[in-house]
Amino acid sequence: MLGGGPFGLQPGQWTDDTSMALCLAESLIEKRSFDPKDQMDRYCRWWREGYLSSTGTCFDIGVTVRTSLESYLRTGKP
């Protein structure tokens, strides 16, 4: 992790892909199995609060991911 790139990250900072992987890993460890609601809740925290982001904010999110999270927040269905 050298830093730079399109987001001007500092060395050691990671992107959205790693943040989402960390959300999944924490959910699997804490729940000791796959819990789609917990997983989606963590993704929403990352998106809205910067949870597990290297910068403290969600500075990049794909259209498909954002649409999925908006749908989850609207319907409650993972």
| Residues 10-69 pLDDT 10s | 898 999 999 999 999 999 999 999 999 999 999 999 999 999 999 999 999 999 999 999
Please determine, for residue 1, whether its predicted confidence score (pLDDT) is greater than 70: no
**Whole-number pLDDT of residue 35:** 98
Residues 6+ apart with CB under 8 A from 55: 9, 13
